[in-house]
Amino acid sequence: EAEVAQSPRYKITEKSQAVAFWCDPISGHATLYWYRQILGQGPELLVQFQDESVVDDSQLPKDRFSAERLKGVDSTLKIQPAELGDSAMYLCASSLEALNEQYFGPGTRLTVT
């Protein structure tokens, strides 16, 4: 069964360092999402792509976060510089099209020290 792949699964970094996460969606899925899930809370959307275009990044802290999906397939989420408050699970999800069922990857657990 096709799955959303994410790497790394775990990342520990010091504050002020740069960190990057990678996501490979299910093949053929046009819509890709990045969520942040703080411990004890539900996931919150950071950015949504339709193919290679950003359709919603209203909750992305653009002073330090960036996301790209250059060829409309896999995607990278970057944080520079990382802050202590960025410690969270970063989830990637994909769907055939927007508003279709979303399939989530296993996430990247980020700890900023």
Partner 1 sequence: TQLLEQSPQFLSIQEGENLTVYCNSSSVFSSLQWYRQEPGEGPVLLVTVVTGGEVKKLKRLTFQFGDARKDSSLHITAAQPGDTGLYLCAYQGAQKLVFGQGTRLTINP
Smallest gap from residue 2 Cβ to partner 1 (A): 14
Which of 60, 77, 93, 112 lies at the binding interface for partner 1 (CB under 8 A)?
93
Residue window 3-42: x/- pattern of binding to partner 1, with contact defined by CB under 8 A: -x----x-----------------------x------xxx
Q: What is the DSSP letter of 76?
A: E
Q: What is the dihedral of CA 57, 61, 66, 72, to 10 degrees?
A: -20
Which of 12, 54, 55, 84 lies at the binding interface for partner 1 (CB under 8 A)?
55
* Encoded tokens for 17: 């360092």
Residues 61-80 that bind partner 1 (CB under 8 A): none
> Which stretch in 12-20, 65-73, 79-87, 94-102 sits in contact with partner 1 by CB under 8 A?
94-102
Structural element, H or E, at residue 37: strand 31-37
Question: Terminal CA-to-CA distance of the chain, rounded, Å?
Answer: 37
| Cβ nearer to partner 1, comparing 13 with 50 | 50
Q: How far apart are CA 104 and CA 6, in angstroms?
A: 10
